[in-house]
Amino acid sequence: MKKIINQPENYVNEMLEGLYIAHPDLITYTNNDLRCLVTANKKEGKVGIATGGGSGHLPLFLGYVGKGMLDGCSVGDVFQSPSAEQMLAITKEIDSGAGVLYIYGNYNGDIFNFDMAAEMADFEEDIRVESVVAGEDVASAGPAAPGEKNTRRGVAGIFFVYKCAGAAADAMLDLDQVKAIAQKAAENVRTMGVALTPCIVPRVGKPGFELGEDEMEIGMGIHGETGIRRGRIEPADQIVEEMLDKIIADLPYVEGDEVDVLVNGLGATTLDEQYIVTRKINDVLSQKRIHVHKYYVGEYVTSLEMAGFSISLLKLDDELKKYMEAPAQTPFFVQL
């Protein structure tokens, strides 16, 4: 395992210590627990927004706490859910009477703990909590049938949900309105990824799966969950076409739509490659007359040092566009 770490069991806490040292103007922690991260700039009267999840995905999740986005994030071990108690402590800290919205990815551990935290907040603290679950990976399951639960994994598209909801809360909308905007963003985003190499969880010390020297896995999840197919690695343009075919057909995105596009590096893939991918995405969307409002390119949601990338599309309307364009300032995302 080639990592620049000390004892693997100290990995998450030492990472957090470094984060608080580097960004004291933006983030701090509550409950005397490094893993209960909250904004250093609480805005009174605003709906609080909390997220949470396992470590190993920086800048997700905690990196989006800051002005115009999120107010708190509970931090789990690598690829593990944080506890309901941690979520509750953050909820109490960030609530200022307008209630709290939870936004998190569609994983069983997170759902269980966020649901429990929401109940405790309601019964014990009289804080109203609503939740929006992001699950937009088209490779992970089919779309939910009417009335059924969405079983898709949440991956990089949650960035768009954070951005829209964060801007709506910052504009002092109430909890129901902020939830509706988060829900609309979640329903209009679709993602698909491809992995070229595995990653190593520090406490485990060896890769969670193997991929041959010339292999890729299309549709793999950000914890190494099985994708749609394995095959020999193909030219970038061909990979992008296959991914966009699946993404575009799913919502579907159609001629005349306007979208924001997130090209997300999973960890070890260079920015060069992400821009080569961007070029091809632009070709395909131009041909289909889907208009791109803005490209976001870089590492937004990683899987430790995995090589690969994902593409996310968010279908915009005037409301979502307004919130996507609003300014934000977090340790990892600054928009003027």
Task: Catalogue the active-site residues.
Answer: 57, 223
Residue (30 or 274) nearer to a copy of itself, CB:
274
Please state the closest distance from residue 321 (CB atom) to a copy of itself, in A. Answer: 16
Which is closer to a copy of itself, CB of 125 or CB of 237?
237
Nearer to a copy of itself (CB atom), residue 96 or residue 282: 282
Closest CA to 87 of 47, 131, 43: 131
Instruction: Please report how close the Cβ of residue 316 comes to a copy of itself at its closest, in angstroms.
Output: 17
Least Å distance, CB 320 to a copy of itself, is: 20
- Least separation, in Å, of the C-beta of 51 and a copy of itself? 17
User: Which CB contacts under 8 angstroms, 24+ apart, belong to 14-17?
Assistant: 15/55, 15/58, 16/75
- Contacting residues for 180 by C-beta, under 8 A, at least 6 apart: none
* Residue 40 or 236 with smaller CB distance to a copy of itself: 236
Q: What is the DSSP letter of 306?
A: B
Gap between the Cα atoms of 130 and 79, Å rounded: 24
Sheet holding 258-265: strands in order across? 229-232, 215-218, 189-195, 308-315, 258-265, 291-298
Sheet holding 27-29, edge to edge: 27-29, 36-39, 72-78, 48-55, 100-105, 129-134
Residue placing its CB nearer to a copy of itself in the complex, 185 or 306: 306
Measured between alpha carbons, how far is 290 from 292 in angstroms, rounded to an integer?
7
| Residue recorded with tokens 């979640």 | 186
d(CA 330, CA 333): 5
Please report which helix (H) or strand (E) contains residue 86, including its range.
helix 84-94
H or E segment and range at residue 273:
helix 271-287
Chain residues that interact with a copy of itself, rule: CB under 8 A = 2-7, 11-12, 14-19, 21-23, 55-56, 58-59, 63, 194, 196-197, 213-214, 216, 233, 235-237, 239, 267-279, 282, 295, 297-299, 302, 304-305, 307-309, 329, 332, 334-336
How far is residue 232 CA from its own chain's centroid?
A: 28
Q: Cα(56)–Cα(78) distance, rounded to whole angstroms?
A: 5
Give least dist CB 126 to a copy of itself, A: 36
**In sequence order, what are the beta bridge partners of 167?**
none
Query: Would you say the C-alpha torsion 73, 75, 76, 79 has a positive or negative sign?
Result: positive
> Is the Cβ of residue 89 or residue 243 nearer to a copy of itself in the bound state?
243
Shortest separation between residue 136's beta carbon and a copy of itself, angstroms: 21
Which C-beta is closer to a copy of itself: that of 187 or that of 258? 258
Beta-bridge partner residues of 297: 263
Q: What is the DSSP letter of 70?
A: B
**Shortest distance, CB of residue 93 to a copy of itself, whole angstroms?**
22
